[in-house]
Structure 1
Amino acid sequence: MAVQAQQNDSSTDSKQATKLEAVEVTGSRIKGADMATQVPILTITSDDIRKSGLTSIGDILQQLTSSGAGLNTKFNSAGNFGFPPDGSGVGSGSATLDLRNLGAKRVLILVDGIRWVNESSASGVSAAVDLNTIPTGIIDRIEILQDGASALYGSDAIAGVVNIITKHTQKGGAASVYYGDYGNLAGGSTHNADLSFGGQGDRYEFFVDFNYVKQNSISSSAWGRSSDECVPGTGLANCSSATPTGRFMFTDPLTGQYMNITPNGTFNGKPAYPGDFHKFTTADRFDFAPYNMLLTPSERSAVFAQTRYKITDQVTWYVRGLYNTRKSTNQAAPEPIFLGPGAGTGGLADTVGVDATNPYNPFGFSLNADPNTGNLVMIGRRPVEGGPRIYRQDVDTSYFATGLQGSFGVGQHDYYWDVNFASGDNKATQDVRGTYNIAHIQRALGPVANCTDSCVPLNVFGGPGTITPAMLNYILYREHDRSDNKIKLWTANISGELFDLPTGPLSFAAGGEHRRYDGSYEPDAVVVAGESNGVPSLPISGHYSVNEYYVELDAPLLKDLTAVKALELSAAMRYSDYSTFGNTTNGKVGLRWQVFDDLTLRGTWSQGFRAPTIGELYGAPARFDATLQDPCSSPLANPALASKCAALGVPGNYAQPNPQISVRTGGNRKLDPETARNLTVGAVYSPGWAENTPWSSKLDFNLGYYRIKLDKAIQAPDAQTQLDRCVDSGDPNSTFCTGIHRNATGNIDGFNNTLQNLGRIKTNGFDFGIDWRGPQTNIGQFTANLQNTYVAEYKATDSNGNQEPRTVGIEVNDSAIPRLTSMLDIGWNHGPWTVDYKVRYFSRLRENCAAAAGFPICNHPDEIAPNRPDGTHYLGATTYHDVRASWKLPIQLDLTLTAGVNNLFDRKPPICLSCSLNGYDAATYDLPSRFAYVQADLKF
């Protein structure tokens, strides 16, 4: 990355001449050449982006060795499980970045040094940026600061800062077309087209870009693991009890016998009871897996324009704008209908039974849903007649920024200033098909005398195909949801040199910022009324503002001494005043010691914070359908456990009817900001003996240590851990049982999992990198870059000091923390040819066997730990190989052709038992297929 040093010309005219190109490096507000080595920064250039073979910045950044479990389009969770207990919403079709495994909401995303608007997918008010709103064609480079920076940038900059720097201009026009395909799977083809042009004159420059990306879907049915079993290696055991035939659990009032039955098949009329029914078994369960998606479809179109104009030699005006639109889709199996107190939804469905007068009721008596006096436990029926659930999102992102940048000189010192305004808006609508109105279902199953006007009596007993179009028309409805995220900000900054010290100038930066955030989520009116059979939620609306002021200093302490080529001390402080919780002040100190020309040591200590977001503060109650194992589900071989369950009011014959337990989540206006302490120490060694030699042109070594302590972490307790601890206590009044309610059947019908300042997260580890560039030879030039992240510790504890299950080397719910992640990139170029070979490595993981306990897939059943109480399943180490080659044609046109294959050897991701869908961790691993692509780039 090129930086411009200070000029030595001492004339007044020269000192006051324009120097607007002076670089501000991410991680410091001070413009200057030396600041680039003050902080640990990774840089991804536009060439690196092209070499990746990927069309999403989110996917590219998720390949960083320090990246954690970020959302991407390999997730297909919209509506399947509801609203995650982190206040963020589902985020369908988005791509986010997680650094240091601390979550996407603890990474600050900047574009040209200014905050970007948070994502919106009509499912809540998110705290993270959707990187798919930023097209790859506009990017000049990306700077990733792997350090805390709240003292410079304010909230969110705990795990790091990503600054996406856009192109200001280019010479002439450029066009690019791209096609990629997953050859081992049906579907998933990707098309990308980019057209840009730019220019510059004496006083102006401009850049305009048009970008289009279309990614087609891949069905889960295209891969055996994601279609054959709901949890790998367990057959139908963990599949749904809501079947097209139906499952009925009740006590027969005539015989007093408990029934758990399903029809023997499909019946045109009523099935005869009990002869046409049999006991429900695992073999009757419904495999919902093939109805989902391995890759969700997405279509994005964007236009970006930027211009800069020199008003005077010292003042430049800029303006830039972007409009991006996304159409994305998620799909799930036909929506199950669970009725009765055993459904455990906590809503209207728990109260719905079947009246004796329903014309399709084969039993001759009512199924009464009262948990205390009724005979019904649960009805499970999956109306495949209504088709799969389809969630379609339309997301429009607009962003506008303008400002002035300038410089001036006073005496021997130069000063740089800027004032900026930016406004971002992310609006989304979601259309949902294949969902049902539970109030209409209640009426259609109730007394037939009340089923009048448009009501059509419902048949849930006859098996698949017996729900007629007329019945469907009455119980189906079309859901429409909306959400919006907005940001407006004003900033002003100045930097320069205050005065000269014996060892050099004392540099400074100072500035202020005002931001306002607005967010809202409006679910469909049927959802708000509590009449939806899908996931319930309520409207959200909120806003807050913040005023901030900061100062940064950089002082040279020593210079040109033995073992001290240069020693510099930097410090920063930022004051933030929020309309929601008050004010906070955060500081940062750093030391840079250049031992000699080849070796530089550096370290920083900083305070950080993250303010509660709109979703976290104002999020209304919503539901998350967590897949949980109830420890009190019979049979119970342990008498002590049986005693504890009895103390919690669980009947001795209780069997968990449904693996999904409805968990109530939502915001909390009493939340405090998160606080953090960051320590980074590092070394950069660029040996002179490796420069301009027969084997090396340049060689750099980078070693860094990081330690982050996060307090008052805003999150919800892990639901499975909370349930396990509640049962282990055997005390319904214990802290762990607070919010967990069981009805008279023993089924959990209430589980409060709202956000709180849960406790502490501690993590530390090492980054190590080698960058080598060989000399130019007759056979070309070779390059190699190796990056590694080693996570030594990751520990999360609640407010009582109890450790949460997520830690190093463990896979938990689509969120892995490999001990070691590595990436090696080897390059060769010779004339018009360029070849790159990349190797990506993830060390092995372990996870709790959970629902797979007792099956052979649980390959270490005797390895028990607090976070693996059901035995241990190992996920083997995984290595991917990517190759790419490009050729600039020897013709008059400036045309380059490229071809590449990612996952060259078709490595399949390791089996994951705790992952939500498709049997693998989509945040960590590639899809189970090679991905081949071709690209043509033309400049004119």
Structure 2
Amino acid sequence: MSLFKPNSVALAIASVLFTSSALAQEEQPAQETDVEKIVVTGSNIKGVDLEGMQPMVVLSAEDIKSSGASTVSELMVQITQTRGGTGSFNTSESGATSTSTPAGQAAASLRGLGASSTLTLINGRRVAASSFASGTQNFVDVNSIPLAAIERIEILATGASATYGADAVAGVINYILKKDYDGAEINLSYGNSFADSDEGKYNINFIWGTEVLGGQLTLFADYFDRNSFSAQDRDYTATPVLESNYSYLPKDTPNIYYLSSYSGLDEIGAPNCKTEFVTTEFGEEICAYYRNEDDELLSALEAGSTGLIFSKEFGDITWNTDFFYSHNKSVAVSSPAPINRVDDTEGPFVPVSALDVFDDETRDALLYDMWIEDFDSLLGRVIDEGFMFDARFSDPRTIEIETNSFRLVSGLSGVINDWDWESAITLSKSESQQEAVKGIYNRYKYHAALTGELCNDGSIANFDGANLSCAAGGLAGVYNPFLEGDSANNAILALAQEVPTRDGESTVYAWDAKISGELFELGSDYVRSAFGVEVRKEEITDTPSMNAVARAENEYLVDVFGFGSSISAADRTQYGAFAEFFVPVTDQLEVQLAGRYDHYDDFGGTFNPKVSFSYRPFDSLIMRGSWSTSFRAPSLTQAGVKLRTTTATFDCGSNQAVADLYCEGFGDERSNNVLELGNSALKAEESEAVSFGFAFSPSNDTTLSVDYWQFEHDDLVDTDMTATLDAAITDSSLRHCGIVPEGEMGISYEEDLCLVTDLSGLTIEQDGANLTEILDEWVAFDNPRYAELPLYRDHVIQLENTGSQSVKGVDLAFEQYFDFSAGTLSFDINATHYIEFDRNKPGSDEIEALIGTWRYPENIASLRVGWSQDNFYASITADYTDSYADDIDGLRGRNIDELEDLGELDSEGQRDVESWTTIRANIGYDFDNMNINFTVNNLLDEEPPVAYGSSRGYDSYNHNALGANYRVSFTYFFK
């Protein structure tokens, strides 16, 4: 019982023996009608097993059962081809902001190239992408595919655009649903961790199949419910791995207020701080915040699905229809939103009377050393004596998201003159609704509340120059951010709460037709071929409520704090035609030739060929190889983004000029609020893929396959803040003091930066300005805390084709069986070794080697030992992830100082995230009419390796923090 059957040798040997078996069938024509001609992933030619020509992983229903997975995303993280890097993601990466992965959703990525570069199919046809993108990357939510309905999964990890068109850059994952099922079964399962916290998950599914109206009907239904998993539920994630990982923005009272008796604006913590004070690198004693307090490692998820597959023959024509519907509901949580001024700069003002909550002695001591000044209220009133504070709201940002997906494919197939033909229509749709239910506050109402300008009905008061008034009701009173546990004060804050919404819809309409058959005889076999056409229309919309939209007329200020949005709408029509040939050159050498032309109405056409071969010097050995080109059309979100409020990271470590101007010369990463624009002029990403290897089976009990593969992936689509900062050094059109004007792009600097000039008298907005000289003058003029050019907010950057990447590696699979009188012992090894993962650094032509660096392990492997005896089976699987470098260069100076004090860094100032091995145990028994299966994941309760490069303290892409957990499954078969 192999857990995963890479390039199943049984199928490979079938390819070796195809010629003789085909001839045998010709001699026995009475049996031909009993043999179903199938199509394997990667080819459209029926009846020819081309799997031997390509590195494929096949997961059978038995493999899925013994994996212990409850969802498709749980299953896919067990595949070596989908592990490593940040391409695949699950709900551990979800959150309540526009930059987060949509809550409850997950995607599988091959070779670390990204989910949008992996084509997801169901029964060989496309599925509508999630209407909410991950960033600007559209992806198929694999959690919408009911695991119980899957018969097998075929994973082709090489370029496949010659067969399937766009998106198959890294390959194809084809989920093949059960059909022709006869009988009924119900499955119940429950899983949880062994910890005291409750991460319980429940699953029930039902399958029933019978003959109906002269056809075969299969019905299925599935329900899944999972509790959330919080960082506070484990000792190793509940507290920060570094004390210096603090944020200056605490939640609850006290907040941080400003002092000005020292240089610049220094901060101290309020006396009633809820946590221990932290000493900053500037010697301040502040009340700090750590993300661990509110970090949700796995969001709650409730999912239900149902569907049917129906097949009926009408003479020589067969009608096939499959339909499924799924409904997912999830809740995602992100850290509480920061509180800024109305214009989004740091340090909102509050009247000095806010300090009246403290006793007189404490209050007087605070006032003795504070910077007090008058300030203007939201309505323009002058407030005597106020001070600035630094804080975030108490409640985490919380959103609820519901997604409804359905897919209908209906087609006809038959045979004409020994040629198989098939034609089908596809309608697939995903609709999502999102609602922020907690932790989101209106910036204007909040500032009105601070100075008593908010009305009891939640509206902002009127001010006639002398008095405040409300259209209905009276004034709500003054909100005091330093007052805790007061219901009346909390009620005023509640008036400022908002409930932004977001609605998305993604739809695919398609029609395809194809034929497959023999062209002519060649030697002892036939040249076979397939031809086909496809028409596809895709539409996507992402529409937020107005209170979450950045608008030019409002200087791009979103009405609410800390919650952006994406506005996009796009559609495209695509026409495709393909041809494919199987050529048995000799009895030992077979060749596959394929080519496909696709034309898109928004960016033009592309042709992608593929050549592959298999050579059999003797029956037990197949040598194989392939070359192909593939492409990924710019996603509809990328082409259709009108304005997206998000954050963008720039990497000072990749560009020294940027580091000197914006990072004091350090190589850390910084994030800023930006506005992303779509780009209708984007080119398609292109890829060239090569693979070659062999499958060797000296006996029925032994299989070894080794495959080398490589991808050259060009014209990647992304936004590049580092490149924009670099370009702005010489391009004055990208430099703006204050908000970037509507219709322009570039970097927004603090307005006061234009008060200084370089030695030639030029401001930063003028051609020829020397930015290094302007930085020196700014430091002399403003005496800032950080000697770097002051960035403001809402930099405007456009999606573009930013660069390229080269990925190379080797897959190894070994399978060995030993038959004994008592049972069968099996060994399986599946491993992926990355030879190269190179790409250009952001904002630079320099190539960086990623293998062995942060989040890119060099080796990933699984070793399985299994035993089966009659109806009993058991297995132990070890999953291994190699060590790799921690992201030390991306840390702040204070983090590095602390690591040096802890002795965590080597002589070069670096460290490695340790390798990680977890054990999965599975045991089961098949009775006459039922099955019991028990799985324990992470049997030895291994904690994830410490990773200082993540604020979580571990790498949630390559490891997980759940610890030892189990799943028990019971299946009953109705006879």
TM range (shorter): 0.7 to 0.9
Q: Deviations over 1:395-441 (max 9, x none)?
A: 111111100111233xxxx3211001111111111111220111212
Distance change (3 Å), C-alpha of 1:94 and 1:251: same
Any idea what SS the aligned residue of 1:350 has?
Answer: coil
Q: 1:419 to 1:6 in 2, by over 3 A?
A: farther
Give the Å deviation of 1:32: 2.1
User: Aligned residue for 1:209?
Assistant: 220
Aligned partner (choices 563, 567, 575) of residue 547 of structure 1: 575
> What residue in structure 2 maps to residue 344 of structure 1?
none
Q: Is the 8 A contact 1:244 1:382 kept in 2?
A: no
CA deviation digits over 1:321-375, x for unaligned, max 9?
11100111112333321237xxxxxxx42399537699889876334799xxx99
Q: How does 1:323-342 map to 2 (within 5 A)?
A: 323-339=325-341
CA–CA distance in structure 2, aligned partners of residues 153 and 257 of structure 1: 60
Whether contact under 8 Å (2:704, 2:813) holds in the other structure is: yes
Letter in 2 for 1:855: E
The structure 1 residue matched to 2:43, chosen from 4, 24, 28, is 28
Is 1:537 the counterpart of 2:526 in the alignment? no
Structure 1 residues 72 and 586: CA distance shift in structure 2, 3 A:
closer
Change in CA separation of 1:771 and 1:378 when aligned onto 2, cut-off 3 Å: farther
Aligned counterpart, 1:495: 516
Contact 2:90 2:107 in 1 (8 A): no
The alignment covers a number of residue pairs equal to 856
Pairwise CA RMSD: 3.7
Does residue 872 of the first structure (1) align with residue 867 of the second (2)?
no
Whether contact under 8 Å (1:354, 1:366) holds in the other structure is no
Contact 1:726-1:736 at 8 Å conserved across structures: no
SS of 1:178's equivalent in the other structure is strand
CA deviations on 1:530-563 (whole Å, 9 max, x unpaired) are 211122235211111100000011112122xxxx
CA shift at 1:54, angstroms?
1.0
User: Which 10-residue stretch deviates more, 455-464 or 895-904?
Assistant: 455-464
- Which amino acid in 1 is paired with 2:96? G
Matches within 5 A, 1:564-713: 566-625=588-647, 644-645=660-661, 661-687=672-698, 690-691=699-700, 698-713=701-716
Out of 261, 267, 270, the residue aligned to residue 260 of structure 1 is: 267
Residue 475 in 1 paired to residue 496 in 2?
A: yes
Which of 305, 312, 322 is residue 320 of structure 1 equivalent to?
Answer: 322
Partner residue, 1:234? 243
Does the aligned pair in 1 maintain the 2:810–2:833 contact within 8 Å? yes
Say whether residues 1:420 and 2:441 are aligned partners: no
The corresponding residue for 1:819 is 858
Contact 2:452–2:475 at 8 Å: present in 1 too? Answer: no
Displacement of 1:156: 0.4
Q: Measure the CA separation in 2 of the matches of 1:379 and 1:356.
A: 11
Q: What amino acid is aligned across from residue 350 of structure 1 in structure 2?
A: T
Alpha-carbon distance, 1:76 to partner? 4.7
Quote how far apart the aligned CAs of 1:837 are: 1.1
Tell me, yes or no, if the aligned pair for 1:726 and 1:732 is still in contact at 8 Å. no
| Letter of the 2:898 counterpart | F
CA distance in 2 between counterparts of 1:581 and 1:485 reads: 20
Asked whether 1:382 is paired with 2:389, we answer: no
Residue type matched to 2:493 in 1?
A: L
3-state secondary structure, aligned to 1:774: strand
- Could you list the runs of 5+ residues in structure 2 that have no partner in the other structure? 1-9, 275-281, 357-366, 454-461, 552-557, 737-744, 753-783
Shift of 1:304: 1.4
Structure-1 separation of matches of 2:865 and 2:666: 56
What's the offset of the Cα at 1:199?
A: 2.3
What CA distance in whole angstroms lies between the structure 1 residues aligned with 2:537 and 2:607? 19
* Residue of structure 1 equivalent to 2:113: 102
**40-49 vs 356-365, which deviates more?**
356-365
| 1:396 and 2:407 correspond | no
Distance in 2 of aligned mates of 1:322 and 1:129: 15
Residue 98 of structure 1: how far off its partner (Å): 1.0
- Aligned-partner SS, 1:558: coil
Q: Distance in 2 between matches of 1:487 and 1:20?
A: 33
Shift of the 599–209 alpha-carbon distance from structure 1 to 2, 3 Å rule, reads same
- State the partner residue of 1:40: 55
TM-score normalised over the length of structure 1: 0.84
Structure-2 separation of matches of 1:665 and 1:806: 28
Which structure 2 residues correspond to residues 905-916 of structure 1 after superposition, within 5 A? 905-915=940-950
Return closer, same or farther for 1:707/1:770 CA change in 2, 3 Å cut-off.
Answer: same
Structure 1 residues 617 and 740: CA distance shift in structure 2, 3 A: same
User: Which one of the candidate residues 909, 915, 924 is aligned to 1:886?
Assistant: 924
Whether the 8 Å CA contact 1:907–1:928 is kept in 2: the answer is: no
Following superposition, the deviation at residue 226 of structure 1 comes to: 2.2
- Secondary structure of 2:562's match? coil
Contact 1:117 1:485 in 2 (8 A): yes
Q: How far, CA to CA, are the matches of 1:618 and 1:532 in structure 2?
A: 24
CA contact (8 A) 2:452 2:477 kept: no
2:836 and 2:114 map into 1 onto residues whose CA distance is 16
Post-superposition shift, 1:243? 6.0
The code of the aligned residue for 2:446 comes to I
Q: Is 1:56 matched up with 2:71? A: yes
| Residue 414 of structure 2: aligned partner | 406
CA distance in 1, matches of 2:47, 2:735: 54
Cα gap change, 1:874/1:12 in structure 2, threshold over 3 Å: closer, same or farther?
closer
Q: Tell me which moved more, 418-427 or 927-936.
A: 927-936
Q: Does the 8 A contact of 2:348 with 2:390 survive in 1? A: no
**How far apart are the structure 1 equivalents of 2:586 and 2:29?**
31
Q: Relative to structure 1, is the Cα distance of residues 319 and 257 closer, same or farther in structure 2, using a 3 angstrom cutoff?
A: closer
Shift of 1:206: 1.8
Contact 1:878 1:910 in 2 (8 A): yes
**1:266 Cα offset (Å):** 7.7
Whether 2:284 is the aligned partner of 1:245: answer no
Aligned to 1:903: 938
8 Å CA contact retained: 1:599, 1:684: yes
* Structure 1 match to 2:526: 505
Q: Could you say if the C-alpha distance between residues 355 and 55 of structure 1 is closer, same or farther in structure 2, counting changes exceeding 3 Å?
A: closer
Equivalent AA in structure 2 for residue 22 of structure 1? K
Counterpart Cα distance in 1 of 2:270 and 2:451: 21
Identity of aligned pairs, percent? 22
Q: Distance in 1 between matches of 2:140 and 2:944?
A: 27
User: Structure 1 residues 612, 748: CA separation in 2 closer, same or farther (over 3 Å shift)?
Assistant: same
* Paired position in structure 2 for 1:634: none
Aligned-pair CA distance for 1:798: 5.3
| Shift, 1:895, TM fit | 1.9
Structure 1: unaligned runs, 5 residues or longer? 85-89, 268-278, 341-347, 560-565, 632-639, 692-697, 865-870
**Residue number among 934, 952, 966 corresponding to 1:932 in the alignment:** 966
Partners of 2:639 and 2:172 lie apart in 1 by 24
Question: Structure 2: which amino acid aligns with 1:793?
Answer: E
Q: 1:867-924 deviations in whole A, cap 9, x for unaligned? A: xxxx4231111111111111234xxx61222212110001111122233x53222222
- Alpha-carbon distance, 1:595 to partner: 1.2
Tell me, yes or no, if the aligned pair for 1:79 and 1:534 is still in contact at 8 Å.
no
Does the 8 Å CA contact 2:340/2:348 hold for their aligned counterparts? no
Aligned partner of 2:746: which letter?
G
Distance verdict in 2 for CA 1:601–1:73, change over 3 Å: closer
- Which residue of structure 1 aligns with residue 294 of structure 2? 291
Q: In structure 2, what residue type is equivalent to 1:58?
A: S
622-631 vs 322-331, which moves further: 622-631
- Given the two structures, how large is their TM-score scaled by the length of structure 2? 0.81
Indicate the residue corresponding to 1:349 in structure 2.
Answer: 344
Shift of 1:297: 0.8
Which amino acid counterpart does residue 64 of structure 1 have in structure 2? I
Q: Distance in 1 between matches of 2:930 and 2:264?
A: 78
- Distance in 2 separating the partners of 1:83 and 1:535: 10
Tell me which of 723, 739, 742 is aligned to 2:746.
Answer: 739
